[in-house]
Amino acid sequence: MRIAVFDSKQYDRTALTAANQQHQHDLVFFDDRLNIKTVPLAEGFDVVCPFVNDKLDAPTMAKLAKLGVQLVTLRCAGYNGVDLDAAKLHGITVTRVPAYSPEAVAEHVFALLLTLIRKTHRAFNRVRDGNFTLDGLEGFNLHGRTFGVVGAGKIGLATARIARGFGCKVLAFDPYPPATCDVGCEFVTLDELFAQADVISLHSPLFPTTHHMINAHTLAKMKEGVVLINTSRGGLINTLALIKSLKSGHVGGVGLDVYEHEEGVFFEDLSDSMLKDDVLARLTTFPNVVITSHQGFLTTEALNNIAASVLESVAQFAQKLPLSNEVKAGA
């Protein structure tokens, strides 16, 4: 099948090309994100392969259908950028990659967290400038702290396991908790988690019900000095409310691998231009905020798993087999 891969970087091309050796699909890579302006690029393709910040809204889906596209195979877990009702209306199948490497994202949680609480980013810059003092670099132990996981899917549970390894008491919230859990965490209400956790890590999908679940009201419920980590979806946090809590000192630290307005910024080199997003620019000024550019998935293992899963979905679709990772409207 002919596959148009949108919003592709070199690491995508390397992993997909290697995985395609056993499938022999026709892969064509585009730098452009898929949206209503770029959808004409999909002409002549059976399949489109978008990424997390591509926008497949109703007009885009309608245009894809007219161009003869039959399958949208996302190379990410999140699908909030796809209008599933429109896909159903136009007979376009949608698949995703639900679990490319839970450990990759979970480990990035602790890359952000340890950077924050041990201030290694500041120490690194000092040493490079020849400053070997320790003043102002005091951190705190994770051992003995209460770690809260919001969303107990594969990534959330992988994060909980690592937190247990650090000697944390782990609290978890999920509206649909697993029937059995071998992680050793305690499932509590969201309010209980907010009130008790020293560190809170977000692992919820982005739905209308979870949009801005971290807001002025919920931030006020959290412990003074709480550290908040988000490697899931930027829209889970009301950034303006977060900035206000940072300024007041109520929030002690923030690690973000996602941002609610990251489209057009994350994954791009803007080093020679002005950052036009004033809110994001303000966030970068806080010494207790660490931001990475949606790189939690970026390990060799995860990239290879993503590529294999995407091409397996295409193979299943081409052979009219049951689709392991199909996403349907209303699911």
Amino acid present at 319: Q
- Characterize 159-197 residue by residue with b for buried, 16 or more Cβ atoms within 10 angstroms of its Cβ, and e for exposed: bbbbbeebebbbbbbbeeeeeeeebebeebeeeebbebb
And the tokens for 223?
A: 């412990």
Which of these is catalytic: 96, 203, 260, 262?
262
- Which of 294, 301, 312, 326 is labelled catalytic? 294
Annotated catalytic residue within 203, 233, 260, 312: 233
H or E, element range at 4:
strand 2-5
Q: What residue type is assigned to position 85 of the chain? A: D
- Establish whether 217 is a catalytic residue: no
Q: What are the strands of the beta sheet with 251-256, ordered from one edge?
A: 186-187, 169-173, 146-150, 199-202, 226-230, 251-256, 289-291
The answer to whether residue 25 is catalytic is no
DSSP 66-84: HTT--EEE-SSS--TTB-H
Is residue 262 annotated as a catalytic residue, yes or no? yes
Residues annotated as catalytic are: 233, 262, 294
